[in-house]
Copies of this chain bind each other. A is one copy, B any other.
Amino acid sequence: MAKGISNAVIRRLPRYYRYLDELLERGVDRISSGDLSNAMHITASQIRQDLNNFGGFGQQGYGYNVQYLHDEIGKILGLDHTHNIIVIGMGNLGQAISRYMHFDNLGFKMVGFFDVNPDLKGKMIRDIPVSMMDELPEFVKTHQVDIAALTLPRANATQAAEMVIDLGIKSIWNFALVDLDVPEDVTVQNVHLSDSLMQLSYNIMQKK
């Protein structure tokens, strides 16, 4: 497998995948590197460079076979596997994430929902009842869990992260406003919504 790929490339891969998915929906079989470049606002040489990290997928004079490139990038992204997700923190954001159907199409499967609030116990989301946090250890013993999404306040996120790591879950999708300290074999992907708003605000100020 590819090693030492830069974060910038890894951030672009989902965009390629998404765009190729759109092309497939529209029934497009192949695309020239020039057209791909124009549509994605990435130079053709950057695209070639990005894809060469994984062995390249184009053919001189033919361009890219959309289905093939789509599937190959999907494999690089691990989308040919199913990833089981639990969501911890069933507030507004947690419930929104839990109900987001598009993730299913990508092989991400919501398998459990957890909170500490007893009012939420048994509430049905996608035909799965919300469980209490103290049920998590038993749940993990009986279910394959690949990813824990943390959608809870900063104050509780660190503790929840420690718990899921202790239980052997190796991947955290972190929405809490805290940068988690985790062992090296644990992968964290952050979605800090307010960081994103602050970046937007920065860019607004620059344009003024």
A interface list, Cβ under 8 A from B: 1, 3, 10-11, 13-15, 17-19, 40-41, 76-79, 81, 83, 91-93, 95-97, 99-100, 102-103, 106-108, 146-147, 170-171, 173, 177, 179, 185, 187, 189, 191-207
Let me know if A191 and B196 touch, CB within 8 A: yes
In the complex, residue of chain B having the shortest beta-carbon distance to the beta carbon of A75: B205
- The answer, among B14, B41, B146, for a CB contact under 8 Å with A195, is B14
Q: Is the interface of A mostly helix, strand, loop or mixed?
A: helix
Let me know if A189 and B196 touch, CB within 8 A: yes
Distance in angstroms between the alpha carbons of A189 and B13 in the assembled complex: 18
Residues of B within 8 Å of A179, CB to CB, are 15, 18-19, 40-41
Let me know if B83 and A201 touch, CB within 8 A: yes
In the complex, residue of chain B having the shortest beta-carbon distance to the beta carbon of A151: B96
Residue from A102, A171, A177, A199 whose CB has the most chain B CB atoms within 10 Å = A199
Give, as a whole number of angstroms, the nearest-CB distance from A26 to chain B: 12
Let me know if A92 and B102 touch, CB within 8 A: no
Let me know if A103 and B204 touch, CB within 8 A: no
- The answer, among B15, B79, B203, B206, for a CB contact under 8 Å with A201, is B79
Let me know if B189 and A173 touch, CB within 8 A: no
Q: A92-B99, A93-B100, A177-B18 are in contact. Are A108 and B207 (CB under 8 A)?
A: no
